[in-house]
Amino acid sequence: MAIKLNAAGYDNAKKLIKSFEVECDPNNWEEVKPSIDEILRYLDSHKLEEYGLWFLGIDTQAPNDQRSKYVYPYGDFNLVQESALILAERQATEKNHDEIKKAAHELLQELAKCKQ
């Protein structure tokens, strides 16, 4: 698995944070992450590229026409979720995906500014 930063997803997350489209709860990702049914409904009405805007990473070895191409989600198709960014940063650290770790950390810092 070769993971690189999804610049479009990162930029989208920054835009959402700046417009306060966020949920600041460090512990709720398991409760708010989209279910498989929600993912499939989203993909029924959105292009795969739009789906990808909700992820910090791209698996360059995955097929371009598959949702598995996108990794490290940061939101629930409505809001940036602090808990998802925390998890992304932790998992990226464990897997040595430094670009993702750095991006998640930077987004968490931006989120912290919004909370003040």
Convert the pLDDT of each residue in 25-39 to its tens digit. 888 999 999 999 999
Domain count, the chain: 1
Mean pLDDT rounded to a whole number for the chain:
94
- pLDDT tens for 51-82 read 999 999 999 999 999 999 999 999 999 999 99
Domain boundaries, position 81: 3-115
Long-range contacts of 103-107 (CB under 8 A, 24+ apart): 103/5, 103/10, 103/56, 104/56, 104/72, 104/74, 107/10, 107/13, 107/14, 107/17, 107/56, 107/74, 107/80
